[in-house]
Amino acid sequence: KYEGNPKLGNWVSTQRRFYRNKKKGKGTQITDERIHKLKEIGFVWDASNKSCAVRDDEGWTRMFLELMEYKEMHGDCLVPFNYEGNPKLGTWVHTQRMMY
């Protein structure tokens, strides 16, 4: 449960349930397009503590390497939020700034 925003927490739980059902071949309301969009923003499908920690570390490292490539190409780390060249990088950089 996400006490900060219970509606969001319920929505996330629902998406995870839909995804599990789809993987099992059951009928579900989630589309491949929605799954793709959620994956692009780093949505965590399995929220068990161990898998989240490992996935977060791997994901963070991967995005950091992409940021290093961006800096090499552009000379800075000022990735626009809506960066067309890599939308996920723009979102990730924005999130890192907000968390700082």
What is the model's pTM? 0.49
Supply the pLDDT for residue 54.
52
Q: Which domain holds residue 96?
A: 48-100
How many CB atoms within 10 Å of residue 3? 6
**Residue 57: how many CB atoms within 10 A of its CB?**
10
> Do 72 and 93 fall into the same domain?
yes
Whether residue 62 sits in one domain with residue 18: no
Q: Burial level of 7, CB count in 10 A (0-12/13-18/19+)?
A: exposed
Question: Do 34 and 55 belong together in one domain?
Answer: no
pLDDT digits (tens, 9 = 90+) for 26-72: 989 999 999 999 998 888 888 775 555 555 677 888 899 999 999 99
